Chain A
Amino acid sequence: MGWWNWLQEIDAPSSQTCVTKSVNKIHETFINRADWKKNELLIGNSKAKAILIYLDYTVDQNTLRKDVVEPLLHFSKTTKLPQEWTLSESISCGDLLLVQQRLLEGSVAVFISGSTKCFIIRAPRAVVRAVESPEMEFTTRGPKEGFIEDASQNIEMIQKRLRTDKLELRSFRLGKITQTNTWLLSLKGITSPELIERVTSKLNQITADQMIDSCEVEEYLEDSAWTPFSVINTTERPDRCVGALMEGGIVLLVDGSPNALIGPYTYFQQFHTPDDYYQRAMYATIKRWIRVTGFFLSTNLVALYMALIGFHSHLIPVKLVTILSLKRESVPFPPMIEIMIIQLMIDLVLEGILRLPPKLGQIIGVSGAIIIGQATISADLISPMVIIIVSVSTICGYAQARLSSTFTVQVIRYVNLLCAGILGAFGLTVIWIFWLIHVCSLHSLGKAYLNPISPFSMVALKDTILRISKRAMGNKSPNVM
Chain B
Amino acid sequence: MNRPPHSMSLHASQFAMMLIGCTVGIGPLFIARIATVASGRDAWIVFLIYLAIILCNSLIMVQLAKRFPKQTFVQYVPELVGTWIGKCIGFILIVLGILTIAVTMKILSYIIATYVLLKTPMDMFNVIILMLLIYLVMFDLRVMGRLATGLFFVSFLFSYFYIPPVNDYGNVLLLMPFFENGWQGIWKGLGAILFSLSGLELFLTYYPYVDDKRNMRKYFIWSILFVGLLFEISLFTQQLVYPLKYLAHLWAPSIHYISIVEFPVFERTDAIFTIFWFTVLFKTAAVYMYHSVISIQQVFQVHQKRIIVFLVAVLGFAVTKMIGNAADIEKWMIYVLTANVGLSLILPSLLLMIAKFRRKGLAG
Contact B2 A450 (CB under 8 A): no
* Nearest 6 pairs of A and B residues by beta carbon: A454-B149, A440-B146, A454-B146, A455-B11, A441-B143, A440-B143
- From DSSP, what is the main secondary structure of chain A's interface residues? helix
- Interface core residue of A436, A440, A441, A454 (most chain B CB under 10 Å): A454
Q: Which of B233-292 contact A (CB under 8 A)?
A: 264-268, 271-272, 275, 278-279, 282
A443 at the interface (CB under 8 A from B): yes
| Chain B positions 1-47 with a Cβ under 8 Å from a chain A Cβ | 1-4, 11, 13-14
- Kindly state whether residue A311 has any CB partner on chain B within 8 Å: yes
> Can you pick out 20 interface pairs between chain A and chain B where the beta carbons lie within 8 Å of each other?
A315-B272, A317-B265, A423-B120, A423-B128, A429-B275, A429-B279, A433-B132, A433-B151, A433-B279, A437-B132, A437-B135, A440-B147, A443-B2, A446-B4, A454-B146, A454-B149, A455-B13, A455-B149, A456-B13, A456-B149
Q: Name the distance in Å between B31's Cβ and chain A's nearest Cβ.
A: 24
Would B2 and A223 count as touching, CB distance under 8 A?
yes
Q: Which residue of B lies closest to A221 (CB)?
A: B2
- Mask: chain A, 423-434; 1 = CB below 8 Å from B; 0 = not: 111100110011
Indicate if A453 sits at the interface (CB-CB under 8 A).
yes
List CB contacts (< 8 Å) of B76-131 with chain A.
Answer: 112, 116-117, 120, 125, 128-129
Interchain nearest-CB distance for B88 vs A (Å):
34
Name the residue on A nearest B16 (C-beta): A456
Q: Which B-chain residue is minimally distant from A202 (CB atoms)?
A: B2
A57 CB to nearest B CB, Å: 42
Residues of A within 8 A of B116 (CB): 312, 424-426
- Report how far A314 CA is from B112 CA in the complex, Å: 14
Whether a CB of chain A sits under 8 angstroms from the CB of B145 is: yes
The yes or no answer to A224 lying at the interface (CB within 8 A) is yes
Report the Cα distance A433→B136, complex, angstroms.
Answer: 10
Which one of A430, A433, A446, A455 contacts B14 once the chains associate, using CB atoms below 8 Å? A455
A453/B271 in contact, CB under 8 A: no
CB-based nearest B residue for A198: B2
Chain A residues positioned under 8 Å from B143 (CB to CB): 437, 440-441
Q: What would 4 more interface pairs be, CB under 8 Å, given A423-B117, A456-B149?
A: A202-B2, A430-B132, A440-B143, A454-B148
Distance between Cα atoms of A424 and B113 in the complex (Å): 12
What's the Cα separation between A444 and B128 when bound, in Å?
29
The interface residues of chain A lying within 8 Å CB-to-CB of B129 are: 430
In this assembly, does A242 line the interface, its C-beta being within 8 Å of a C-beta of chain B?
no
* Nearest CB of chain A from residue B335's CB, rounded to whole Å: 28
Q: Are A455 and B117 in contact (CB under 8 A)?
A: no
Q: Report B273 CB to chain A, min CB distance, Å.
A: 11
Q: Which single member of B120, B136, B147, B267 contacts A317 (CB below 8 Å)? A: B267
B268 lies within 8 A of A314 (CB): yes
**Complex Cα distance A316/B125, Å?**
24
How far apart sit A455 and B17, CA to CA, in the bound complex (Å)? 11
- A441 and B139 form a contact (CB under 8 A): yes
B128: which A residues are within 8 A, CB to CB?
Answer: 423, 426, 430
Most buried by A among B136, B142, B146: B146
Q: Are A437 and B147 in contact (CB under 8 A)?
A: yes
Q: A429-B275, A453-B149 are in contact. Are A317 and B1 (CB under 8 A)?
A: no
A223:B1 contact, CB within 8 angstroms: yes
